[in-house]
Amino acid sequence: MAATAQFWEEQFNDDSNNPFDGVLVYHYEAGTTSVKDVWTDRAKTTVAEQPRAGDSHGFVWFYGDGLYRLRILDKNGALLYDWDNVNISVGSVGIEAGDCEVGMVPVYVGPGDQFECDFIDLATVRGCLPIANCGTGTDDTPSDGTLLIGNTAGGYTVGNITAGTGITVTNGNGTIAIAAGGLQAQPYGSIGQKSFVASSQNQFTLSADVVMLRHTTSGSAVRYAPSNLTNDITTAGSTANGRDAAAAFSASSWVHFYWIFDPGDEDTARPENLASLSSATAPPTGPTLPTNYVYWSYAGAVRLNSSSQLTRTRIMGNKALYETHQQALTDGVATTESEVNLQSFIPPNAGYFQVSVLNKKDDDGNLSVDIGFIAGSIFHTIYSPHGDQSTNYSDVFEMPNVGQRMFYTGADENVIVDIFMQGYSLPNGGS
């Protein structure tokens, strides 16, 4: 066997000169169906697969040594050609580069003539110098997501394009997509979020039209129309679609939910993966991510009740709404400013909360109740005009979250107040 192999390449097109995408070349001993090796390098150190698959342009290449039978099939298995006694060996080239006119190179045209002088047609990517990697002078073969990059020694090495600040790189088979991060003003968040507590009340389903995730150190990633993700807060972690700690969440506490993203690694055949994570830690610190997950995006917070069940809540955009209102005050009768603790009803990082205040007067007089979010300041007043003392008067409005509390003051001892929490806003970048 010769010490080195001979480069062979061909581009297969149909009768309309359209390339056969994914053409398959089976390589056998001449006159038989016994497999005969071909290689991906001139030194014959790496055996190529059987069959050798072409790219989307119908182009196939390998290194051979000796006589072959080549059967060429399309990607659906239909036979295109059956060539026998194809001589692919050092010295089989009938012409050399010096035999061609200026601007031409030897181009393989198949059995018989083997090579002819022709121009390299850059419009159709037809033609390739019959040396490693089409004339780069190196036997290094780029894998998915890598390029041959010139070095100072005048040769080439295989290198990766990596993401940087504000830049994302997606490496695919035959493609390298580079995108500038156009979402730096909003480093993470979601569009069209419609998340909710599942029926078991220990699971939370995350749903959105678009999820924008931040890298743990720099950059961002965007995922469109992701599948619904269900997070089980009873699954110990840090584990994708579970919680980020081994210890269970404390009853009567706030649970923060996140989208998390593993960009994958083609070198280890690890695919990219979008998942969920629950944590006791709110942003901007963020959760403790599982291995390989380097992006996260905040979805929102849900209350864990005294029975360690998630309170039925729906997050729509950046607002969390209770499916059933939560009563924060029952039959309040304070006639001086009184604080109502809301720590069990709105999370510390809520921006606003939506509240319903019911003024239940026990008198025929014109009685009122004053509402505030800062001690000593009146934000809103609910009046009850003269009339039947059994008539109740209520109002629904939003208030800013200042210390997870609010204040109320009844006009006199005949004012009775109920306060209900209906929901709260979240800093999740949602819309």
Question: Residue 16: how many CB atoms within 10 A of its CB?
Answer: 5
For residue 164, is pLDDT > 70?
no
Closest CA to 325 of 306, 308, 303: 303
Return the structure tokens found at 83. 């060539």
Calpha distance 426→350 (Å, rounded): 5
Q: What pLDDT is recorded for position 276?
A: 96
pLDDT category at 182 given cuts 50, 70, 90 is very low
Indicate the average pLDDT of the chain: 83
Q: What is the pTM of this model?
A: 0.58
Q: Map out the domains of the chain with their CATH numbers.
A: 6-134 (2.170.14.10), 146-180 (no CATH), 189-316 (no CATH), 320-425 (2.60.120.260)
Between CA 57 and CA 80 the distance in angstroms is: 16
Residue 1: pLDDT over 70: no
Which has the minimum average pLDDT: 79-83, 90-94, 207-211, 248-252?
90-94
- Bigger pLDDT: 217 or 255? 255
- Quick: pLDDT tens for 68-98: 999 999 988 899 999 988 888 876 655 554 5
Q: What length does the chain have?
A: 431
- Mean pLDDT within 143-162: 66
Closest CA to 416 of 378, 368, 372: 368
220-236 residue pLDDT tens? 888 888 889 999 999 99
DSSP-derived pairing of the beta strands 194-197 and 313-316? antiparallel
> Residue 114, Cβ neighbours under 10 Å: how many?
17
Give 102's strand partners: none
Q: pLDDT tens for residues 15-52? A: 888 888 889 999 999 999 999 999 988 889 999 999 99
Maximal CA-CA distance, the chain: 113
